[in-house]
Structure 1
Amino acid sequence: MEDNITYKLKQVCVQNPIFGPRNLGHYWGSMKDFVNNQDKHESYLIIDDVLAILMNPNEAHAIKNRTYFVLQDFINCGYDIEKSHVILTSSFTPYLMELILFYADFIDFKFCNYLYENSFLGGLKSYQREELGLNLYPSVFEVLYPQLGIPAISFALEAELFQGGEEIIGYTYIMNHLKNNIKKVYNDYNYPPMYEPARNGYVLGLDGEYMFQHNSIFLSEDEDSLIKKIDNIEDKRVIKDWLTSAGHKNVFEFYSEDNDFTYLKNLLKDILVNELKPFRENQLEISHLDEIIINNYENIQNQLTNHITTLKREAYKISSLKHT
Structure 2
Amino acid sequence: MEDNMTYKLKQVCVQNPIFGPRNLGHYWGSMKDFISSQEKHESVLVIDDVMAILMNPKESEAIKNRTYFVLQDFINCGYDFENNRIVLTSSFMPDIMELIIFYSDFIDFKFCHYLYENSFLGGLKSYQRDELGLNLYPSVFELLYPQLSIPAVSFALEAELFQGGEEIIGYTYIMNIIKNNIKKVYNDYNYPPIYEPARNGYVLGLDGEYMFQHNSIFLSEDEDSLIEKIEKIENKKVIEDWLTSAGHQNVFEFYSADQDFTYLKNLLKDILVNELRPFRENQLEIDHLDKIIAGNHEPVQQQFSAHIRTLKREIYHIL
Give the TM-score taking structure 2 as reference length.
Answer: 0.98
- How many angstroms apart in 1 are the aligned matches of 2:255 and 2:111? 49
**Partner in structure 2 of residue 253 of structure 1:** 253
Task: Output aligned runs, 1:297-308, within 5 Å.
Answer: 297-308=297-308
Any idea what SS the aligned residue of 1:87 has?
Answer: strand
- How many angstroms apart in 1 are the aligned matches of 2:107 and 2:134? 25
Asked whether 1:12 is paired with 2:3, we answer no
**Partner in structure 2 of residue 161 of structure 1:** 161
- How many angstroms apart in 1 are the aligned matches of 2:234 and 2:46? 36
Unaligned runs of at least 5 residues, structure 2: none
- How many angstroms apart in 1 are the aligned matches of 2:251 and 2:2? 50
Cα contact 1:112–1:147 (8 A) shared by 2: yes
- How many angstroms apart in 1 are the aligned matches of 2:176 and 2:154? 12
Aligned-partner residue type, residue 276 of structure 1:
L
Any idea what SS the aligned residue of 1:43 has?
Answer: strand
Cα contact 1:182–1:189 (8 A) shared by 2: no
Any idea what SS the aligned residue of 2:121 has?
Answer: coil
Unaligned runs of at least 5 residues, structure 1: 320-324
Q: Flag as ranges the 4+ runs of structure 1 deviating above 2 A.
A: 1-4, 184-190
Any idea what SS the aligned residue of 2:11 has?
Answer: strand
Task: Output aligned runs, 1:191-210, within 5 Å.
Answer: 191-210=191-210
Cα contact 2:186–2:314 (8 A) shared by 1: no
- How many angstroms apart in 1 are the aligned matches of 2:251 and 2:198? 21
- How many angstroms apart in 1 are the aligned matches of 2:187 and 2:12? 26
Aligned-partner residue type, residue 203 of structure 1:
V
Asked whether 1:288 is paired with 2:283, we answer no
Q: Deviations over 1:261-302 (max 9, x none)?
A: 111111110000000000000000000000000000000000
**Partner in structure 1 of residue 101 of structure 2:** 101
Task: Output aligned runs, 1:28-39, within 5 Å.
Answer: 28-39=28-39
Q: Deviations over 1:219-259 (max 9, x none)?
A: 00000100010011111111111111101111111111111
- How many angstroms apart in 2 are the aligned matches of 1:67 and 1:108? 32
**Partner in structure 1 of residue 223 of structure 2:** 223
Asked whether 1:139 is paired with 2:139, we answer yes
- How many angstroms apart in 1 are the aligned matches of 2:208 and 2:182? 43
- How many angstroms apart in 2 are the aligned matches of 1:39 and 1:244? 25
Q: Deviations over 1:119-169 (max 9, x none)?
A: 110011111111111100000110111110000000000000001111111
Any idea what SS the aligned residue of 1:134 has?
Answer: coil
Among the aligned pairs, what percent are the same residue?
Answer: 83
- How many angstroms apart in 2 are the aligned matches of 1:176 and 1:252? 41
Any idea what SS the aligned residue of 1:210 has?
Answer: coil
Any idea what SS the aligned residue of 1:259 has?
Answer: coil
Question: What's the CA shift for 1:2?
Answer: 6.5
Q: Deviations over 1:26-74 (max 9, x none)?
A: 0001101101111010010000001000001111111011110000000
**Partner in structure 1 of residue 44 of structure 2:** 44
- How many angstroms apart in 2 are the aligned matches of 1:3 and 1:245? 39
Task: Output aligned runs, 1:59-208, within 5 Å.
Answer: 59-208=59-208
Question: What's the CA shift for 1:183?
Answer: 1.6
How many residue pairs were aligned? 319
Any idea what SS the aligned residue of 1:6 has?
Answer: coil
- How many angstroms apart in 2 are the aligned matches of 1:28 and 1:69? 17
Cα contact 2:28–2:245 (8 A) shared by 1: yes
Question: What's the CA shift for 1:12?
Answer: 0.5
Question: What's the CA shift for 1:187?
Answer: 4.1
Cα contact 2:185–2:315 (8 A) shared by 1: no
Cα contact 1:202–1:210 (8 A) shared by 2: yes
Aligned-partner residue type, residue 222 of structure 1:
D
Q: Deviations over 1:179-231 (max 9, x none)?
A: 11112232434211101111100111000100000000000000010001001
